[in-house]
Amino acid sequence: YQGAPLLLEGKSLAGEKGKASERSFVMIKPDGVSRQLVGKIITRFEERGYKLVAVKSLTPSPALAKEHYIDLASRPFYKGLVDYITSGTPVVAMVWEGKDVIRQGRRIVGATNPQESDPGSVRGQYAVSVGRNLIHASDSFDSASKEIELWFAESELAEYKPTTWDWVMA
Ligand code: ADP
Protein backbone atom coordinates (compact mmCIF):
# COMPACT_ATOMS: atom_id res chain seq x y z
CA TYR A 1 0.00 0.00 0.00
CA GLN A 2 1.45 3.34 -1.09
CA GLY A 3 -0.59 6.18 0.39
CA ALA A 4 -0.42 9.81 -0.64
CA PRO A 5 1.22 12.17 1.85
CA LEU A 6 -1.02 12.66 4.85
CA LEU A 7 -1.69 15.58 7.12
CA LEU A 8 -0.58 18.32 4.75
CA GLU A 9 -0.99 21.47 6.84
CA GLY A 10 -3.08 19.49 9.34
CA LYS A 11 -5.61 18.46 6.67
CA SER A 12 -6.42 14.92 5.61
CA LEU A 13 -9.39 12.77 4.62
CA ALA A 14 -10.23 12.81 8.35
CA GLY A 15 -10.84 16.55 8.04
CA GLU A 16 -8.94 19.14 9.99
CA LYS A 17 -7.61 18.25 13.39
CA GLY A 18 -9.81 19.71 16.12
CA LYS A 19 -12.44 20.99 13.67
CA ALA A 20 -16.12 20.08 13.61
CA SER A 21 -15.61 18.49 10.19
CA GLU A 22 -13.67 15.63 11.80
CA ARG A 23 -14.23 12.16 10.32
CA SER A 24 -13.75 8.64 11.65
CA PHE A 25 -13.43 5.26 9.94
CA VAL A 26 -15.91 2.76 11.36
CA MET A 27 -16.21 -0.85 10.22
CA ILE A 28 -18.83 -3.42 11.15
CA LYS A 29 -16.85 -6.65 11.18
CA PRO A 30 -18.11 -9.96 9.69
CA ASP A 31 -19.73 -11.08 12.95
CA GLY A 32 -21.76 -7.86 13.05
CA VAL A 33 -22.97 -8.46 9.48
CA SER A 34 -23.64 -12.15 10.08
CA ARG A 35 -25.54 -11.38 13.28
CA GLN A 36 -27.63 -8.82 11.37
CA LEU A 37 -26.68 -5.90 13.62
CA VAL A 38 -25.84 -3.50 10.76
CA GLY A 39 -29.01 -1.43 11.08
CA LYS A 40 -28.83 -1.14 14.86
CA ILE A 41 -25.18 -0.04 14.72
CA ILE A 42 -25.74 2.52 11.96
CA THR A 43 -28.74 3.87 13.88
CA ARG A 44 -26.56 4.69 16.91
CA PHE A 45 -24.33 6.96 14.81
CA GLU A 46 -27.26 8.48 12.90
CA GLU A 47 -29.32 9.18 16.01
CA ARG A 48 -26.36 10.81 17.75
CA GLY A 49 -26.37 13.28 14.86
CA TYR A 50 -23.38 12.08 12.88
CA LYS A 51 -23.30 12.29 9.09
CA LEU A 52 -22.73 9.20 6.95
CA VAL A 53 -20.10 10.31 4.45
CA ALA A 54 -19.32 6.92 2.88
CA VAL A 55 -20.49 3.33 3.19
CA LYS A 56 -19.70 0.11 1.35
CA SER A 57 -19.90 -3.61 1.93
CA LEU A 58 -16.97 -5.77 0.87
CA THR A 59 -14.88 -8.78 1.74
CA PRO A 60 -11.44 -7.27 2.35
CA SER A 61 -8.43 -8.82 0.64
CA PRO A 62 -5.77 -10.27 2.95
CA ALA A 63 -3.48 -7.39 1.88
CA LEU A 64 -6.05 -4.80 2.95
CA ALA A 65 -6.81 -6.53 6.26
CA LYS A 66 -3.09 -6.93 7.04
CA GLU A 67 -2.39 -3.29 6.29
CA HIS A 68 -5.35 -2.12 8.36
CA TYR A 69 -4.03 -4.04 11.38
CA ILE A 70 -0.31 -3.60 10.60
CA ASP A 71 0.42 -2.15 14.06
CA LEU A 72 -0.64 -5.50 15.56
CA ALA A 73 1.53 -7.61 13.21
CA SER A 74 3.71 -8.92 16.03
CA ARG A 75 0.78 -9.95 18.24
CA PRO A 76 -0.10 -13.65 18.58
CA PHE A 77 -3.71 -13.06 17.48
CA TYR A 78 -2.74 -11.18 14.26
CA LYS A 79 -3.20 -14.11 11.86
CA GLY A 80 -6.53 -15.07 13.43
CA LEU A 81 -7.62 -11.44 13.27
CA VAL A 82 -6.81 -11.20 9.55
CA ASP A 83 -8.58 -14.54 8.93
CA TYR A 84 -11.66 -13.26 10.78
CA ILE A 85 -11.82 -10.01 8.81
CA THR A 86 -11.30 -11.80 5.47
CA SER A 87 -13.55 -14.78 6.26
CA GLY A 88 -15.82 -14.23 3.25
CA THR A 89 -18.69 -12.75 5.21
CA PRO A 90 -18.47 -9.07 4.27
CA VAL A 91 -17.67 -6.09 6.43
CA VAL A 92 -19.47 -2.73 6.25
CA ALA A 93 -16.87 0.02 5.93
CA MET A 94 -18.06 3.54 6.74
CA VAL A 95 -16.89 7.09 7.23
CA TRP A 96 -18.81 9.19 9.78
CA GLU A 97 -18.42 12.91 10.23
CA GLY A 98 -19.25 15.36 13.01
CA LYS A 99 -18.20 17.02 16.22
CA ASP A 100 -15.69 14.90 18.17
CA VAL A 101 -16.72 11.84 16.14
CA ILE A 102 -13.39 10.04 16.63
CA ARG A 103 -13.53 10.08 20.44
CA GLN A 104 -17.30 9.68 20.60
CA GLY A 105 -17.14 6.82 18.09
CA ARG A 106 -14.81 4.96 20.45
CA ARG A 107 -17.31 5.51 23.28
CA ILE A 108 -20.19 4.22 21.13
CA VAL A 109 -18.11 1.15 20.22
CA GLY A 110 -16.84 0.45 23.77
CA ALA A 111 -13.64 -1.05 25.17
CA THR A 112 -11.73 -3.57 23.03
CA ASN A 113 -12.60 -6.46 25.32
CA PRO A 114 -16.42 -6.66 25.48
CA GLN A 115 -16.17 -7.96 29.03
CA GLU A 116 -14.83 -4.52 29.97
CA SER A 117 -17.09 -2.51 27.64
CA ASP A 118 -19.76 -0.26 29.06
CA PRO A 119 -23.09 -2.13 28.76
CA GLY A 120 -24.50 0.82 26.80
CA SER A 121 -21.84 0.49 24.10
CA VAL A 122 -22.17 -1.67 20.98
CA ARG A 123 -19.64 -4.21 22.23
CA GLY A 124 -21.00 -4.11 25.78
CA GLN A 125 -24.53 -4.72 24.59
CA TYR A 126 -23.94 -7.31 21.88
CA ALA A 127 -20.54 -9.01 22.33
CA VAL A 128 -18.74 -11.17 24.89
CA SER A 129 -15.48 -12.16 23.17
CA VAL A 130 -12.49 -9.95 22.28
CA GLY A 131 -11.92 -12.02 19.14
CA ARG A 132 -15.47 -11.33 17.93
CA ASN A 133 -16.11 -7.77 19.05
CA LEU A 134 -18.31 -6.71 16.11
CA ILE A 135 -16.95 -3.32 15.18
CA HIS A 136 -13.91 -1.14 14.61
CA ALA A 137 -13.58 2.64 15.05
CA SER A 138 -10.49 4.79 14.54
CA ASP A 139 -8.67 5.50 17.82
CA SER A 140 -7.07 8.86 16.90
CA PHE A 141 -7.02 11.56 14.25
CA ASP A 142 -3.90 10.06 12.70
CA SER A 143 -5.44 6.57 12.59
CA ALA A 144 -8.62 8.00 11.07
CA SER A 145 -6.57 9.74 8.35
CA LYS A 146 -4.68 6.58 7.48
CA GLU A 147 -7.72 4.30 7.64
CA ILE A 148 -10.05 6.47 5.55
CA GLU A 149 -7.35 6.73 2.92
CA LEU A 150 -6.71 2.98 3.03
CA TRP A 151 -10.36 1.98 2.61
CA PHE A 152 -11.80 4.77 0.46
CA ALA A 153 -10.94 6.96 -2.51
CA GLU A 154 -11.57 10.65 -1.96
CA SER A 155 -14.23 10.49 -4.71
CA GLU A 156 -16.24 8.04 -2.56
CA LEU A 157 -16.68 10.58 0.25
CA ALA A 158 -19.93 12.51 -0.07
CA GLU A 159 -20.29 16.26 0.46
CA TYR A 160 -23.76 17.21 1.66
CA LYS A 161 -25.50 18.84 4.58
CA PRO A 162 -28.03 16.78 6.57
CA THR A 163 -31.26 18.67 7.32
CA THR A 164 -30.50 18.21 11.04
CA TRP A 165 -26.98 19.62 10.80
CA ASP A 166 -27.47 23.15 12.15
CA TRP A 167 -29.43 21.85 15.14
CA VAL A 168 -26.97 19.08 15.93
CA MET A 169 -23.76 21.04 15.40
CA ALA A 170 -24.66 24.39 17.00
P1 ADP B 1 -9.65 -1.80 19.05
O2 ADP B 1 -10.35 -2.58 17.98
O3 ADP B 1 -10.55 -1.57 20.25
O4 ADP B 1 -9.03 -0.52 18.54
P5 ADP B 1 -6.97 -3.04 19.12
O6 ADP B 1 -6.51 -2.08 18.08
O7 ADP B 1 -6.12 -3.24 20.34
O8 ADP B 1 -8.45 -2.70 19.64
O9 ADP B 1 -7.17 -4.47 18.48
C10 ADP B 1 -7.74 -4.60 17.21
C11 ADP B 1 -8.62 -5.81 17.18
O12 ADP B 1 -7.83 -6.98 17.38
C13 ADP B 1 -9.68 -5.88 18.26
O14 ADP B 1 -10.83 -5.12 17.98
C15 ADP B 1 -9.98 -7.37 18.27
O16 ADP B 1 -10.81 -7.71 17.16
C17 ADP B 1 -8.61 -7.96 18.01
N18 ADP B 1 -7.96 -8.32 19.28
C19 ADP B 1 -7.36 -7.49 20.16
N20 ADP B 1 -6.88 -8.16 21.22
C21 ADP B 1 -7.17 -9.47 20.99
C22 ADP B 1 -6.95 -10.68 21.68
N23 ADP B 1 -6.32 -10.69 22.86
N24 ADP B 1 -7.38 -11.85 21.14
C25 ADP B 1 -8.03 -11.85 19.96
N26 ADP B 1 -8.27 -10.74 19.23
C27 ADP B 1 -7.86 -9.57 19.74
> For the segment 4-58, what is each residue's pLDDT rounded down to a tens digit?
445 556 678 999 777 778 999 999 999 999 999 999 999 999 999 999 999 999 9
Residue-wise pLDDT tens digits, 66-108: 999 999 999 999 999 999 999 999 999 999 999 999 999 999 9
Q: Break the chain into its structural domains and give their ranges.
A: 17-157
Alpha carbon of 121 to those of 85, 125, 158, 168: distances in Å? 21, 6, 27, 21
Q: What is the pTM of this model?
A: 0.94
Angstrom distance (rounded) from CA 45 to CA 49: 7
Architecture of the domain spanning 17-157: 2-Layer Sandwich (3.30)
d(CA 121, CA 125): 6
Q: Is 68 a catalytic residue?
A: no
CB of 136 closer than 6 angstroms to any ligand 1 atom: yes
Q: How far is the CA of 17 from the centre of ligand 1 (A)?
A: 25
Whether 133 has a binding-site annotation, put simply, is: yes
pLDDT of amino acid 45 = 98
Task: Determine the residue type at 101.
Answer: V
Say yes or no to pLDDT of 3 above 50. Answer: no
Bridge partner residues of 28 (DSSP): 92, 135
Query: Quick one: which of 59, 62, 61, 64 has its CA closest to 88?
Result: 59
For 115-153, write each residue's pLDDT tens digit: 999 999 999 999 999 999 999 999 999 999 999 999 999
- Of 112, 123, 138, 142, the one to substitute when testing ligand 1's pocket (max ligand atoms within 8 A of C-beta) is 112
Protein residue closest via CA to atom 25 of ligand 1: 131
Nearest CA to ligand 1 atom 8: 112
| Contact criterion met (CB below 8 Å) for 88 and 29 | no
E-strand ranges in 45-130 read 51-58, 91-97
